[in-house]
């Protein structure tokens, strides 16, 4: 690969690494701060400016992560991988990610057996890869149209409720609506990331990936990102379509601004995607020029995203337990944590750490996982074992 080609792939790793770092911040806040289970940190009636920003900035994570998964798939084709091989790879890797979500990752969130299955971003990426495996034989432009149509059009179904569909309601939750699913044995599954909207984001990334290797990449990204942000502003001001929760002016400018920016992530609305992904595309040319130790660290995380994701969940959970015990609080609620956060918040017993503690704990998480990520990145760079692509 040419030096230019390497620099462009490394720039993607920097963006992906930044996303992972912000994702870790969100999960540290979830586990350590009371806003992880007691109230919505984007609710202007209960939040502070710092808490609001701490939560909102992490909105960039999921859409960018899923979008870049689509970009990375197309780049394999651009580097000469046959589409038939890519289809098999996406199918196998997608199923593997779903398995991880339901086992190792699920246990990391819960620290209990059994635990409530948590269908989150890895699940969404996995299922989306399976669906993308069916599409890669199409022209990239066709996949782009599919992805853009889903991202732009799925809010047409905001009014369709699972209860309206009878026995197909659970399927609708998995595909579009999300939420808590009941199981025949009386248990529950939390489907935070329904399939259709996130597949749309991945297909959009696959279809738009050619931009990242274009000679005028930066100009194109500025135009596309700027157009997405402009669309967000128009849709938000008109306040008719693109998000199931229209905003309304509040008593003061601070609360009104918070309401204006409080777009829906579960499932990701058109306004959510245009605001976050548009900003990420605008930022990419700047990140591509970023040099220095921080960029190098982010590049390591971005080179081994699955390893970073897996390890950080366990580290965050461990720090949450240790900090509560050290502070004289009951840490029992962190067993089967997701269930307690969502459906049994009284089990948390008012525990949690102040927001000022979240930030040094976040830096500690990143520092703890860095040596393992760096070692794993070196292993993947020097070996070609087939199974390495699955971690």
Question: 257-300 pLDDT, tens per residue?
Answer: 999 999 999 999 999 999 999 999 999 999 999 999 999 999 99
Q: Residue 2 burial by CB count (10 A; 0-12/13-18/19+): exposed, middle or buried?
A: exposed
Over the stretch 113-150, which tens digit does the pLDDT of each residue have? 999 999 999 999 999 999 999 999 999 999 999 999 99
Provide the pLDDT for residue 7. 53
Distance CA 349, CA 351 (A): 5
For residue 29 the two structure tokens come to 């806040």
Dump the DSSP string for 254-303: HHHHHHHH---TTTTPHHHHHHHHHHHHHHHHHHHT--SHHHHHHHHHHH
Query: Do 90 and 129 contact (CB within 8 A), yes or no?
Result: yes
The pLDDT-based confidence of 384 (bands split at 50, 70, 90) is: confident
CA atoms within 13 A of residue 260's CA, in its CB half-sphere: 16
Flag whether pLDDT at 251 surpasses 70: yes
Report the chain's terminal Cα–Cα distance, integer Å: 23
For residue 259 the two structure tokens come to 């309401």
> In this predicted model, which residue has the larger pLDDT, 389 or 381?
381
Flag whether pLDDT at 3 surpasses 50: no
Mean pLDDT of 328-357: 93
Quick one: CA dihedral 333, 337, 340, 346, positive or negative?
Answer: positive
Provide the pLDDT for residue 2. 42
Mean confidence (pLDDT) of the chain = 94
Beta bridge partners of residue 182, listed in sequence order: 188
- Backbone phi, psi, residue 159, to 5°: -80, -5
Flag whether pLDDT at 67 surpasses 50: yes
Provide the pLDDT for residue 8. 55
Q: Where exactly are the structural domains of the chain?
A: 3-390
> What is the separation of C-alpha 121 from the centre of its chain, rounded to a whole number of angstroms?
5
Q: Name the residue among 97, 13, 3, 5 with its Cα closest to residue 380.
A: 13
């Amino acid at each position: 690969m040419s030096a230019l080609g390497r620099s462009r792939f490394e720039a993607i790793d920097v963006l992906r690494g930044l996303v992972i770092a912000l994702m870790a911040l969100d999960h540290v806040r979830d586990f350590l701060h009371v806003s992880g289970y007691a109230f919505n940190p984007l609710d202007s009636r209960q939040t502070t400016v710092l808490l609001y920003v701490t939560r909102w900035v992490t909105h960039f994570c999921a859409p960018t992560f899923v979008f870049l998964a689509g970009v990375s798939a197309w780049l394999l084709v651009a580097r000469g991988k046959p589409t038939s091989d890519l289809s098999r790879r996406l199918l196998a890797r997608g199923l593997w990610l779903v398995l991880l979500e339901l086992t190792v990752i699920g246990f990391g969130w819960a620290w209990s057996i059994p635990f409530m299955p948590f269908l989150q971003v890895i699940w969404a990426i996995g299922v989306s890869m399976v669906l993308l495996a069916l599409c890669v034989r199409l022209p990239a432009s066709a996949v782009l149209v599919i992805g853009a149509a889903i991202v732009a059009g799925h809010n047409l179904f905001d009014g369709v409720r699972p209860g309206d569909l009878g026995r197909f309601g659970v399927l609708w939750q998995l595909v579009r609506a999300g939420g808590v699913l009941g199981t025949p044995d009386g248990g529950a599954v939390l489907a935070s990331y329904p399939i259709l909207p996130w597949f749309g984001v991945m297909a959009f990334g696959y279809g738009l990936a050619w931009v990242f290797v274009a000679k005028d990449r930066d100009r194109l990204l500025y135009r596309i990102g700027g157009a997405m942000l402009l669309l967000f502003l128009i849709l938000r001001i008109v306040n008719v379509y693109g998000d199931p929760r229209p905003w309304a002016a509040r008593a003061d400018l601070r609360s009104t601004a918070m309401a204006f920016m409080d777009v829906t992530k579960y499932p990701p609305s058109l306004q959510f995607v245009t605001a976050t992904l548009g900003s990420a595309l605008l930022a990419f040319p700047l990140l591509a020029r970023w040099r220095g130790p921080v960029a190098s660290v982010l590049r390591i995380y971005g080179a081994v995203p699955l390893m970073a994701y897996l390890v950080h969940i366990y580290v965050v959970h461990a720090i949450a337990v240790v900090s509560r015990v050290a502070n004289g609080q009951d840490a029992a609620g962190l067993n089967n944590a997701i269930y307690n956060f969502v459906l049994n918040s009284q089990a948390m017993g008012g525990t949690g750490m102040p927001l000022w503690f979240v930030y040094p704990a976040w830096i500690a998480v990143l520092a703890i996982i860095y040596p393992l990520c760096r070692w794993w990145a070196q292993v993947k760079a020097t070996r070609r074992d087939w199974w390495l692509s699955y971690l």
